[in-house]
Structure 1
Amino acid sequence: MPIYLDEVPEDEDSISHPVTLRWGILLIVILLAGMVLTAWQWTGDRSGISFWLTALVLPFSIWGILVVFRHIGYRLELNGEAGWNYECQSLKDTEIARGQRFAWVLDTFVQTPAGKGTGSLAAAMAQATPLLKTSIPRGGGLPVRHARITDFDADPNTVKQAIGKVSERLKNMLERLPDTLPCWLVFDCDESLSAADEAEILQHLMLKSGRELHQISVKGMNALDKWLDNNWDKPSVLIVLTLVLRPSPAENDAEAITSLVLCNRKSYQFPDAVRLHRPQQSNHDTLTRNMANSLRWAKLSPDSIKAMWISGEAVTGRPGLNKSSEDNALTLSLTDDIKSIDATLGYTGVASPWIAAALATVVVQEQGAQMIAVQPDPASDDIWLTVITTKER
């Protein structure tokens, strides 16, 4: 479940103490009123004890009863305020603790037109080598500027072979982890893959990996968010596999296969693993606040962020990200530190968060903390923010 820290109720203001001067004035008023009414309505001797009890003691007793009830109400308000504030603070601490959960990135793999492996794409990004080319789409039609994996042009079975190699890689990774470790799977693909092909790929993946894989019903960063919530108390692995093939691409679209292996516990088998912090779902109205939350989840100051990886028209084509960065005092160069994946590779849609995470993982050890801001769904303005950091020193 996403973290909505701003929806936690605010603490109640301090309850004001009864004002002594007001109660003193009320005592004088009640005594005067009691004496006047008693003198006016009294028909007997006005010098007896009954007269003075009625004229003075009775009004004073009424005032005393009012004081007692006001004090009781004041104490009840204090207790209610303390209880409310305690619950609000407890809820806030719980939400912050949930927000600060993270996953260890054990392995990343990206296949793009730049080649196989995250390193090939990272090199293309470093050299600003554009992979977008104008050509006729694989599915036919007018020429479009896009980036496709040409290995899949000649033989459709090449896709299954690529998934087979990814499965072998996953198997080798999982063999280094305990057999009893539960494994969860997020498989996300674009609409070009039929349901039968998707089921076949999933079956092949489970057979090749040698593990029982529990598929998570939600997709994308929502799946990571759900896994961090539901499986935090017990060590487990999350495998993310995305397949983006575009027979009829739009302008500046790209193809990619991505694979990430995440774990919610540190493993001595992977001493160089880095941390992928809880993602934060945002839009342009909440981007500034949620960017601050992303820094809080990673326990970072704004100047700790050394680079930002961005993808999607909602991020790259609008000024909201720059304003949010300024509002949060991020000291990033617009030309050198904000890296647009789309400018080199093209837009990969559902694979964009994981490609950004894989690229950030390559450089975080040397450069420092990396922020990610991507728009996985072109039909939605949702922007996902997250941070990649190294292990604590």
Structure 2
Amino acid sequence: MAVELDRIPAQADRPSSPKLWLWLCLLSLFLLCGCAVVVLLSEVDLREQSDAVWGAALGASFLGWSLVCGLRVLYYLTRQHSADGWDAARAADLEGKLSQGRRLQQVLAVSVYTALRTEQSDALLQVDAVLEGTNALKAQPSRSAGGTVRHSRLPGDVNENPERALLRILKDLLSDFAIQLAELPDDLELALSLVIDSPLLEDRLGGVWQTALAESGIRQTVTLISWRGLEAIDQWLDQRSDDQALLLVVSVVLAPDAPQGTAETAVGLLLGNPGSQRELLPVANLHRPEQAHGESAGALIRATQLALSWASLPASGVEHLWRSGIGRKYHAAVTTVISEIKLPRRADRKVHDLDALLGHPGAAAPWVAVALAAQTVQRGCGPQLILSGVRCANAPLWVAVLTPVPPPMT
């Protein structure tokens, strides 16, 4: 659930303090009223009136004024105390929500396969190709359409059996993590967020996954969770921020139904709460993502500002901007956000439009951007901002921030 700072009530209304000049005037009025009572009720000539009568009248007037003044001061102090209590509770609530919003996960390991990662190139060359703007989107035979369409495709035989191709891809992906996971205890839990978009039926998908997992060499217990996309990060930070388990995200898009303008991708990320383990050095910090509450540019600007605030990062501190899975209807909103918040522009060669380079990655859109941005941070670059959509083109966009891990204190 998103941390909604907008729902925190406003500070208490403070009572106005008593005005000295007003109460001095009121004292004069009380004394005049006391004198008037003596004049109206006394049968004795005023020049013959005793000092005792005048003293009693003025004294009673002063006591009446003191009583009213005391009640006014008591009312002021009571309201002030109530406002202090409200503001203290509000400050505690705000601090708690800010602390909750600033929770983060550490990216411990990354594996990503796109059309730019061939058998002859490794992960670093793939990142270089993306940063240089190498285009992999081209007209070529498709696994699913049976003809030539413009898309990007993972390396391999286009006529390969989809089940065999998926098994091969998953084995490559999981073998990358098996190396890091070998350093961790066997009893460590891996919470799995798994999304596979392929022509295979659900039962066959499960069988392929279990086969790939069994042959990967991963010894830890893998438990499937229902959270998907960047919402999984949001939910994890709310519900399992103190957990010792690690979050394993696996997302594969293979032979999508309508391949025109799409990208076949396979991506995996291993994420952990800070301090959950000491064996693996974190690659980057992934801060709480924010989803825009609406389709307008204003909603996206608000989400971007919140995502930056969770990372305590000014917009000027963003070094690279990543766009992935953004539908045509959001292009104008994204352009407005970049202009209004003064983020890196395309002319700076620090804006990486994965939809233009690879095609729409579908359900893997946020994770491809996160993985490539994390590898960019790993190469020594600074903070990265990600704008991403999901497979449903009408769903609001997500904003996420990655920052380098601060060096350990000595």
Amino acid at match of 1:133: K
Which residue is 1:26 aligned to? Answer: 26
Mapping for residues 259-338 of structure 1, pairs under 5 Å: 259-265=268-274, 267-271=277-281, 273-282=283-292, 283=294, 284-314=297-327, 318-330=331-343, 332=345, 334-338=347-351
1:356 and 2:358 equivalent?
no
SS of residue paired to 2:227: coil
What is the aligned length? 392
Amino acid at match of 2:22: R
1:181 and 2:188 equivalent?
yes
What's the CA shift for 1:142? 7.1
Cα separation, 1, equivalents of 2:50 and 2:255: 105
Mapping for residues 36-185 of structure 1, pairs under 5 Å: 36=36, 39-40=39-40, 42=41, 47=49, 55-115=57-117, 118-119=123-124, 121-135=126-140, 137-140=142-145, 144-149=149-154, 150-151=156-157, 153-156=159-162, 157-185=164-192
Cα separation, 1, equivalents of 2:73 and 2:328: 57
In structure 2, runs of 5+ residues without a counterpart are none
Cα separation, 2, equivalents of 1:89 and 1:17: 23
What's the CA shift for 1:137? 4.4
Match 1:366 to one of 370, 377, 380: 380
Q: Which string of whole-angstrom CA distances, capped at 9 and with x for unpartnered residues, describes residues 226-260 of structure 1? A: 11222222332110011223442253111211111
Q: Which string of whole-angstrom CA distances, capped at 9 and with x for unpartnered residues, describes residues 9-57 of structure 1? A: 33345543211111222222333345435644x3766857996577444
Cα separation, 1, equivalents of 2:363 and 2:207: 20
Which residue is 1:389 aligned to? Answer: 403
Check whether the contact 1:315–1:373 (CA below 8 A) recurs between aligned residues: no
RMSD: 3.0
Cα separation, 1, equivalents of 2:6 and 2:159: 49
What's the CA shift for 1:305? 1.4
1:242 and 2:251 equivalent?
yes
In structure 1, runs of 5+ residues without a counterpart are none
SS of residue paired to 2:166: helix
Instruction: Out of 312-321 and 257-266, give the one that drifted further.
Output: 312-321
What's the CA shift for 1:330? 3.5
SS of residue paired to 1:259: strand
Cα separation, 2, equivalents of 1:205 and 1:57: 97
SS of residue paired to 2:99: helix
Alpha-carbon spacing, 1:72–1:248, altered in 2? closer, same or farther (3 Å) = same
SS of residue paired to 1:139: coil
Cα separation, 2, equivalents of 1:50 and 1:215: 93
Alpha-carbon spacing, 1:316–1:119, altered in 2? closer, same or farther (3 Å) = farther
SS of residue paired to 1:243: strand
Cα separation, 1, equivalents of 2:183 and 2:158: 31
Check whether the contact 1:242–1:351 (CA below 8 A) recurs between aligned residues: yes
Which residue is 2:390 aligned to? Answer: 376
What's the CA shift for 1:278? 1.6
What's the CA shift for 1:268? 4.5
Which residue is 1:194 aligned to? Answer: 201
Check whether the contact 2:197–2:256 (CA below 8 A) recurs between aligned residues: no
Q: Identity, % of aligned pairs?
A: 26
SS of residue paired to 1:242: strand
Cα separation, 1, equivalents of 2:94 and 2:193: 30
Amino acid at match of 1:195: E
Alpha-carbon spacing, 1:141–1:202, altered in 2? closer, same or farther (3 Å) = closer
Check whether the contact 2:251–2:266 (CA below 8 A) recurs between aligned residues: yes
Q: Which string of whole-angstrom CA distances, capped at 9 and with x for unpartnered residues, describes residues 77-107 of structure 1? A: 2222222222222222222222222222121
What's the CA shift for 1:383? 1.8
Amino acid at match of 1:145: R
SS of residue paired to 2:331: coil
Cα separation, 2, equivalents of 1:115 and 1:316: 30
SS of residue paired to 2:226: coil
Cα separation, 1, equivalents of 2:186 and 2:39: 95
